[in-house]
C-alpha cells in the first residue's frame, strides 16, 4: 500500500531520529531559507535565434511582480524579486515598491544593464573612450539611486566587457579603468548597500573577458572595499570546474556575496537549477550550509534563469523546490561524523556520509516545511489546479509582452 504524504513524513522522522538528526533545527533552517526570483525569469526569452512568446506573459514590471507572488505563495521562501534596469524601468518606483508590498513581496537586487547599448560594443566600464565610461558610471549611479528608492541593499553587476582579438586593447589598462569606474560607484552607495561583482568565463567577448573568474572578481572587490563581494553564477564556469571549492574559498575569505542558481549542459544555458547536475547542487549547498554567516550580511541566494520553452511560473516553482530539497539534504549531513572521518583519513567513510544524506528522500520534509509556512505541499500541482494562469491569459491578451531583448 502506498504511503500518504503524512505517513511518508513520519517514516522519514523515525529514520532521521534514529540517526541522531536534530530535526527541529533542520526544519527551522529550512523555514528560514529564502531565494530571490528574477523579474526577467517571468518574461519571454529564447535563444540567439528566436524568442518564444507564451500566452499570459507579463507586459510590465507590475505584472512580473504578480507572477512572482504566485511563486512565493506556493513555496513560502521567495519574498523578494530582483529587477533589471532598464527592462524594469518605471516612472514611479514608489508605486512599484507599494505594489510589491501589497503582494507580500519586496524589491531585491537592482541589476544595471551595460551590455545592450550600441555604445558598449567595446565595453562599458573598461571602454577605451572616457565618454562611454562616463555613460556607464552614470547608469550605475542611477541604479544606486533606484536601489535607495525601493530599499534595496544590493547592486548586482555583470559586465560583458572583453575583447575579441589579441592586441585589441590593453588588459592592464582595461582593469584599471574598471576599478576607477567602480570606485566612483562604490562611493555613491549608501552604507547599507553591497556591491555584488559577477564573473563569467566567456561570452560575448571571445578572446578575453575582463572578469573571467572568481579570482579576478575577488581582486577587484578587495580594491573597492569590504562591501564589494563576489557573486557566483553556477553556469559561468568552464566544464568540470569545482564550483563548491570556489564557494568554500570565498566563504572563508568572507567575500561570497551571492549565488545565482541555474544549470547548464554546455555553456551558460540558464536551465532549471538541479535539472542537469543535482549532485553538484547538493555539494554546493553542503558548503553553503556550513559557511552561512547569517546576521546582517548574509549571502544573497538568487535564481538567474531564462525559461525559453517551458511555462515561466511552473519553471520557477520547480527551481525553488529543487533548491529546498538540495538544502534539506545538505542539512542532513552528519557534520560531526564527517569531520571525524576526515581527520582519521577514512576516505570512503567520509564519502559514504555525504552519499547517505544525498540519497535521503527529503520531499516529505520539504512539503511539511512549506505547509508550516502556509504554502503548498506540492507547489506545481497546487498552482496548476488554480485558475491564475487562465485569468492572466485573458487579462493580458492585449499589449506588448515583456522580453529580455
pLDDT, residue 196, reads 98
What CATH number does residue 221 fall under? Answer: 3.20.20.150
pLDDT, residue 4, reads 66
Residue 90 C-alpha cell reads as: 518605471
Measured in degrees and rounded to the nearest 5, phi and psi for residue 198 equal -95, 150
pLDDT, residue 292, reads 79
Question: Would you mind telling me the total number of residues written for the chain in this entry?
Answer: 405
Cβ-based neighbour number of residue 7 at 10 Å: 12
Is residue 77 included in any domain, yes or no?
A: yes
| Residue whose cell numbers read 536534530 | 22
With the C-alpha atoms ordered 74, 79, 85, 91, is the resulting torsion angle positive or negative?
Answer: positive
How confident is the chain (405 residues) per 10-residue block, as mean pLDDT?
73 90 95 97 87 92 98 98 97 98 98 97 98 98 98 98 98 98 98 98 95 98 98 96 98 96 92 97 96 70 94 97 98 96 98 98 97 98 97 94 76
Is residue 380 included in any domain, yes or no?
A: yes
Q: Is 214 exposed, middle or buried, given 0-12, 13-18 or 19+ CB atoms closer than 10 A? A: buried
pLDDT in tens, 172-221: 999 999 999 999 999 999 999 999 999 999 999 999 999 999 999 999 99
Is residue 292 included in any domain, yes or no?
A: yes
pLDDT, residue 405, reads 59
Q: Which is it for strands 208-209 and 162-163: parallel, antiparallel or unpaired?
A: antiparallel
Is residue 11 included in any domain, yes or no?
A: no
CA–CA gap between residue 364 and residue 291 (Å, rounded): 26
CA–CA gap between residue 260 and residue 158 (Å, rounded): 12
Integer angstrom CA distances of residue 137 from 159, 209, 278? 12, 19, 39
For the entire predicted model, the pTM comes to 0.95
CA–CA gap between residue 37 and residue 70 (Å, rounded): 11
Residue 327: strand, helix, or coil: helix
Is residue 111 included in any domain, yes or no?
A: yes
Is residue 400 included in any domain, yes or no?
A: no
| Residue whose cell numbers read 512565493 | 72
Residue 403: strand, helix, or coil: strand
Q: Which domain holds residue 245?
A: 18-394
Is residue 8 included in any domain, yes or no?
A: no
Q: Among candidates 252, 64, 269, which has minimal Cα distance to 260?
A: 269
pLDDT, residue 68, reads 98
CA–CA gap between residue 145 and residue 141 (Å, rounded): 6
pLDDT, residue 296, reads 46
Residue 180: strand, helix, or coil: helix
HEC secondary structure over 216-269 = HHHHHHHHHCCCEEEEEECCCCCCCCCHHHHHHHHHHHCCEEEEEECECCCCCC
Is the separation of the CB atoms in 39 and 341 below 8 Å?
A: no
Is residue 399 included in any domain, yes or no?
A: no
How many domains is the chain partitioned into structurally?
A: 1
Is the separation of the CB atoms in 303 and 35 below 8 Å?
A: yes
Residue 92: strand, helix, or coil: coil
CA–CA gap between residue 389 and residue 394 (Å, rounded): 9
Amino acid at each position: 500500500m502506498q504511503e500518504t504524504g503524512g505517513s511518508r513524513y513520519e517514516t522519514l522522522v523515525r529514520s532521521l531520529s534514529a540517526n541522531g538528526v536534530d530535526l527541529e533545527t533542520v526544519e527551522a533552517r529550512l523555514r528560514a531559507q529564502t531565494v530571490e526570483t528574477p523579474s526577467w525569469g517571468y518574461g519571454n526569452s529564447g535563444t540567439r535565434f528566436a524568442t518564444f512568446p507564451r500566452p499570459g506573459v507579463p507586459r510590465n514590471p507590475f505584472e512580473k511582480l504578480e507572477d512572482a507572488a504566485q511563486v512565493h505563495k506556493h513555496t513560502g521562501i521567495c519574498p523578494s524579486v530582483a529587477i533589471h534596469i532598464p527592462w524594469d524601468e518605471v516612472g514611479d518606483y514608489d508605486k512599484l515598491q507599494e505594489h510589491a508590498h501589497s503582494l507580500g513581496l519586496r524589491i531585491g537586487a537592482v541589476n544595471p544593464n551595460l551590455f545592450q547599448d550600441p555604445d558598449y560594443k567595446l565595453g562599458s566600464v573598461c571602454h577605451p573612450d572616457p565618454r562611454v565610461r562616463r555613460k556607464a558610471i552614470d547608469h550605475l549611479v542611477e541604479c544606486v539611486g533606484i536601489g535607495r528608492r525601493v530599499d534595496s541593499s544590493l547592486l548586482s553587476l555583470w559586465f560583458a566587457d572583453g575583447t575579441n582579438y589579441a592586441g585589441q586593447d590593453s588588459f592592464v589598462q582595461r582593469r584599471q579603468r574598471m576599478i576607477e569606474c567602480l570606485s566612483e560607484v562604490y562611493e555613491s552607495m549608501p552604507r547599507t548597500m553591497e556591491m555584488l561583482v559577477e564573473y563569467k568565463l566567456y561570452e560575448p567577448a571571445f578572446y578575453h573577458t575582463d572578469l573571467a573568474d572568481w579570482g579576478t572578481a575577488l581582486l577587484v572587490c578587495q580594491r573597492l572595499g569590504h562591501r564589494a563581494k563576489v557573486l557566483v553564477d553556477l553556469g559561468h564556469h568552464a566544464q568540470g570546474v569545482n564550483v563548491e571549492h570556489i564557494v568554500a574559498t570565498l566563504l572563508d575569505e568572507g567575500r561570497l556575496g551571492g549565488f545565482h542558481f541555474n544549470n547548464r549542459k554546455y555553456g551558460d544555458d540558464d536551465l532549471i537549477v538541479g535539472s542537469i547536475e543535482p549532485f553538484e547542487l547538493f555539494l554546493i549547498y553542503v558548503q553553503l550550509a556550513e559557511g552561512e554567516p547569517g546576521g546582517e550580511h548574509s549571502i544573497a541566494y538568487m535564481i538567474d534563469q531564462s525559461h525559453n520553452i517551458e511555462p515561466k511560473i511552473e519553471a520557477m516553482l520547480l527551481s525553488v523546490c529543487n533548491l529546498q530539497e538540495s538544502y534539506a539534504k545538505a542539512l542532513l549531513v552528519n557534520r560531526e561524523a564527517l569531520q571525524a572521518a576526515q581527520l582519521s583519513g577514512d576516505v570512503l567513510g567520509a564519502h559514504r556520509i555525504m552519499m547517505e544524506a544525498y540519497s535521503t528522500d527529503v520531499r516529505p520534509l520539504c512539503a511539511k516545511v512549506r505547509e508550516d509556512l502556509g504554502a503548498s505541499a506540492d507547489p506545481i500541482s497546487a498552482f496548476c489546479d488554480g485558475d491564475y494562469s487562465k485569468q492572466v491569459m485573458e487579462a493580458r491578451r492585449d499589449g506588448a509582452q515583456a522580453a529580455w531583448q
